[in-house]
Structure 1
Amino acid sequence: MRHRIDVLITRYCLRARSLPSSCLLSLLSTTLPVSRIKIHLEKNPLFMALPSPAPSSDTRLKTFFRQYRERQLTSLVTSTTQVLLRACRPALVVDPVLYVPATRAERSLLVRWRLGWLPGKPEDCPCGRDRRSRRHFLECDLIPSFLWSDLPRCPPGSYPIDFALSSLPLGRSARCPPWWSSLLLMLWYIQRLCRPNGYYPIDSSPGASWYSRSARRSD
């Protein structure tokens, strides 16, 4: 939303500069002792980052806006200490967890993990060894260890589940990765640990909807 506001302000300032001198806004900005455009709007970081001369076409201007936003996102993800931001893809794309083939329950698990609703509050884990946390799940006895091994190997400093989600292929026609069912089963176990009093049935074949579609495409 902040970027959208900056874009609107920048477009407004560029338009104001291109108005004829006889326009009312141009007359007001030159006659009034204090111009809001000069004091506030033109100090907008996106407007100040414009090259000189400014992009001459709307297409080039949109390209500049996108490149600026990508640089801002990369800087934010690499410099922040917030776990959820660091877990995001460093690219301006729709997260595949929103559109890959999945059941309603499976997509709920994926989205809740991305939003940080899992694991939630750091309360005592049913295993009795520690409080529920991302760090504890790596060694919790109630999560089968082979599930961690099935996930793609992540670089140092990355969390296996976050890295797996960021490794999901882009595109609605992409093939299902081999570790997809292990990822969903992992999130199901974590959900049970975080909500031990709830009832969470599990499919006999987690991720079957994506697997079956990939199989049909390969035939």
Structure 2
Amino acid sequence: MRHRIDVLITRYCLRARSLPSSCLLSLLSTTLPVSRIKVHLEKNPLFMALPSPAPSSDTRLKTFFRQYRERQVTSLVTSTTQVLLRACRPALVVDPILYVPATRAERSLLVRWRLGWLPGKPEDCPCGRDRRSRRHFLECDLIPSFLWSDLPRCPPGSYPIDFALSSLPLGRSACCPPWWSSLLLMLWYIQRLCRPDRYYPIDSSPGALWYSRSARRSD
């Protein structure tokens, strides 16, 4: 939302600069002792970052806006200490968890993990060894260890589930990765540990919807 506000302010300032001198806004900005455009609006960081001369077409201006936003996102992700932000994809794309073939229950698990609703509050884990946390799940006895091995190998400093989600292929026609069912089963175990008072039936074939569609495309 902040970026959209900056874009609107920048467009307004560029438009104000291109108005004829006989326009009322131009006359007011030059005659009034304090011009809001010069004092406040033109101090906008996006406007101040414009090259000189400014992009001459709307297409080039949109390209500049996107490149500026990409640099801002990259800087934020690499410099922040917030776990959820660091786990996000470093590119400005729609996260595949929102459109890959999945059941409502499977997509709910994916979205809740991305939003940090899983694991939630650090309460005692049913295993009795520690409190529920992302770190504890890596060694929790109630999560089958082979599931961690099935996930794609992540670089140092990355969390296996976050890296797997960021490794999902882009595009609605992309094929299902081989570790898809292990990822969903892992999240199901975590959900059961976080809400031990509720019953969550296990799917006999997690990820089957995406697997079946990928198989039909390959035939």
Shorter-chain TM-score tier: over 0.9
Question: Hey, what does 2:60 align to over in structure 1?
Answer: 60
The answer for the alignment partner of 1:25 in structure 2 is 25
Correspondence for 1:159: 159
Question: What is the aligned-residue identity percentage?
Answer: 97
2:123 maps to: 123
Distance 2:78 2:122 in 1: 26
Shift of 1:161: 0.1
Instruction: State the superposition RMSD in angstroms.
Output: 0.3
| Structure 1: stretches of 5+ with no match in the other structure | none
Determine the C-alpha separation between the residues in 1 that align with 2:72 and 2:167.
22
In 2, Cα distance between the equivalents of 1:195 and 1:12? 50
**C-alpha distance in 1, partners of 2:132/2:7?**
42
Distance 1:203 1:160 in 2: 22
Once the 2 structures are TM-superposed, how far is the Cα of residue 148 of structure 1 from its aligned partner? 0.1
Deviation at 1:126, TM superposition (A): 0.2
Q: Determine the C-alpha separation between the residues in 1 that align with 2:156 and 2:204.
A: 33
The alpha-carbon deviation at position 20 of structure 1 amounts to 0.3
Q: What is the aligned length?
A: 219
- Measured after TM superposition, the shift of residue 201 of structure 1 is 1.1
1:144 Cα deviation from its structure 2 partner? 0.1
Q: 1:132: how far off?
A: 0.1
TM-aligned CA deviation for residue 196 of structure 1: 0.3
Summarize deviations over 1:8-56 as a string: whole Å, max 9, x none: 0000000000000000000000000000000100000000000000000
Looking at structure 1, the residues matched to 35 and 90 of structure 2 have their Cα atoms a distance apart, in angstroms, of 38
Report the CA distance between 1:142 and its aligned residue.
Answer: 0.1
Runs of 4+ residues deviating >4 angstroms: none
Q: Secondary structure at the match of 1:73?
A: helix
CA shift, 1:203, in A, is 1.3
1:163: Cα distance to partner?
Answer: 0.1
* Shift of residue 138, structure 1, vs aligned partner: 0.1
Find the aligned partners of 2:135 and 2:46 in 1 and give their Cα distance. Answer: 38
Q: Provide the C-alpha distance between the structure 1 equivalents of 2:40 and 2:97, rounded to a whole number of angstroms.
A: 40
CA distance in 2, matches of 1:215, 1:202: 23
Tell me by how many angstroms 1:202 deviates. Answer: 1.7
In 1, the alpha carbon distance for the partners of 2:201 and 2:101 equals: 19
CA apart distance, 1:199: 1.3
Normalising to structure 1: TM-score of the pair? 1.00
List per-residue Cα deviations over 1:43-79 (Å, max 9, x = no partner): 0000000000000000000000000000000000000
SS at 2:121's partner residue?
coil
CA distance in structure 1 between the aligned counterparts of 2:199 and 2:104, rounded to whole angstroms = 15
1:134 shift after superposition: 0.1
Deviations 1:180-201 (A, max 9, x none): 0000000000000000011111
Gaps of 5+ in 2: none
Q: Tell me the alpha carbon deviations over residues 120-171 of structure 1, each in whole angstroms, 9 at most, x when there is no partner.
A: 0000000000000000000000000000000000000000000000000000
Match in the other structure for 1:104: 104
Alignment partner of 1:36 is 2:31: no
Give, in whole Å, the separation in 2 of the partners of 1:218 and 1:27: 66
